[in-house]
């Protein structure tokens, strides 16, 4: 039986609201991800990160790493559009 050699890598570290928004962007582009520390980061953020700073981590497959980073950079550098 062949073993899967795919690795999981972190592509984002920050606040829950931003991790969730980026997760939706990735899902819209067919990249599966999950938020690490989703529950503990809310209950006791200081337990999962020093001082409780940026406790949420977004994890993807290493196969999708480059695309995910590109989409996150695009997300971070795009100005919000004004509603008409």
Residue-level pLDDT at 50: 54
Taking 60 as the threshold, does the pLDDT of residue 54 lie above it?
yes
Residue 1, domain member (yes or no): no
Q: Within 13 Å and on the Cβ side, how many CA atoms surround 59? A: 12
Residue 36, domain member (yes or no): yes
Residue 11 DSSP one-character state: E
Q: Which domain holds residue 45?
A: 8-76
Taking 80 as the threshold, does the pLDDT of residue 11 lie above it?
yes
Taking 90 as the threshold, does the pLDDT of residue 5 lie above it?
no
Residue 84, domain member (yes or no): no
Residue-level pLDDT at 14: 87
Taking 70 as the threshold, does the pLDDT of residue 42 lie above it?
no
- Supply the mean pLDDT for the chain: 82
Q: What is the CATH number of the domain that holds 16?
A: 3.30.70.1530
Residue 72, domain member (yes or no): yes
Q: Can you list the alpha helix ranges (DSSP code H) found in the chain? A: 16-28, 40-43, 45-48, 65-76
Q: What average pLDDT does this structure show over 30-50?
A: 70
């Amino acid at each position: 039986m062949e073993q899967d050699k795919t690795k999981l890598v972190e592509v984002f570290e920050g606040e829950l609201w931003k991790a969730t928004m980026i997760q939706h962007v990735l899902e819209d582009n067919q990249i599966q991800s999950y938020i690490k520390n989703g529950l503990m980061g809310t209950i006791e953020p200081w337990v999962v990160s020093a001082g409780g700073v940026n406790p949420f981590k977004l994890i993807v497959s290493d196969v999708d790493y480059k695309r995910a980073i590109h989409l996150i950079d695009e997300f971070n550098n795009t100005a919000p559009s004004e509603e008409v």
